[in-house]
Amino acid sequence: MLKIANLPLARQHSLLIIVICLISSLAFIFDKQVSQLLVYNRELISQGEFWRLFTGHFLHTNGYHLLLNLLAIILLWALHGQFYHYLNYTSLFIVSALTTSYGLYTFSPDLQQYVGLSGVLHGVFVFGAIMDITNKEKTGYLLFIGVWLKIAHEQYNGASNEIAELIGANVAIDAHLWGAVGGLLFSLCYLSYQLFRKKS
């Protein structure tokens, strides 16, 4: 059971979570002013506006979409924030975001626009589960298997209609897949680096 006393409140564990929530909230408040410049737009990316591969993740379709993503990022922090540090979380976020966008751009050509943190969140989830496993937390195995079963279910059966109605857009299930792949790749590189440091 999560308790306030056990939350990873130290700055190195929580500051980036606050920053991401703040940027996402500001992007939502000023959506009309910034969305056309920042949204993941396949056609404009193909014309060289590559920043959209990253910035589109901070935009959301409506308030419910934003709230769901912010609650998810806070819940993941509560579960695994003790593993977050400035460098590793920044790197994890960037790798998951870019892997999500690259996967969508390469393998989902029909998807013209994408917004939201859900792809990145799946990468963060995978990282947290793997860190649990490496720290001999048995729940890590359940979380790791569970997220891949969820992704497989989405790939086979599609996304929840209720969520799609709530956020006012189709759920980009391929973003969940590529975000999780990004989190997995980052985790493997991160653990390899940690192992190398211990041996050297």
Assign 68 to helix, strand or coil: helix
> Measured between alpha carbons, how far is 52 from 29 in angstroms, rounded to an integer?
19
Domain ranges, ordered by start, for the chain: 12-199
State residue 6's pLDDT score. 74
- In this structure, what are the phi and psi dihedrals at residue 30, rounded to the nearest 5 degrees? -105, 35
> Measured between alpha carbons, how far is 96 from 182 in angstroms, rounded to an integer?
4
* Cβ proximity of 101 and 40 under 8 Å: yes
State residue 3's pLDDT score. 58
**To 5 degrees, how large is the angle CA 167–CA 115–CA 101?**
140
State residue 119's pLDDT score. 98
State residue 69's pLDDT score. 98
* Cβ proximity of 40 and 49 under 8 Å: no
| Helices and strands, number each (H, E), in the chain | 10, 2
Which superfamily does 12-199 belong to?
Rhomboid-like (1.20.1540.10)
* Cβ proximity of 139 and 199 under 8 Å: no
pLDDT in tens, the chain (200 residues): 555 667 899 999 999 999 999 999 999 999 999 999 999 999 999 999 999 999 999 999 999 999 999 999 999 999 999 999 999 999 999 999 999 999 999 999 999 999 999 999 999 999 999 999 999 999 999 999 999 999 999 999 998 889 889 999 889 999 999 999 999 999 999 999 999 888 87
Residue type, 153: H
> Measured between alpha carbons, how far is 24 from 71 in angstroms, rounded to an integer?
12
The H or E element spanning position 114 is strand 113-114
State residue 4's pLDDT score. 64
User: CA distances (Å), 19 to each of 62, 76, 145, 158, in order?
Assistant: 20, 15, 30, 32
Of residues 129, 126, 120, the one with CA closest to residue 172: 120
> Measured between alpha carbons, how far is 175 from 178 in angstroms, rounded to an integer?
5
State residue 133's pLDDT score. 97
State residue 14's pLDDT score. 95
Beta-bridged to residue 40, according to DSSP, are 114
* Cβ proximity of 138 and 196 under 8 Å: no
Chain-centre distance of CA 8, in angstroms? 19
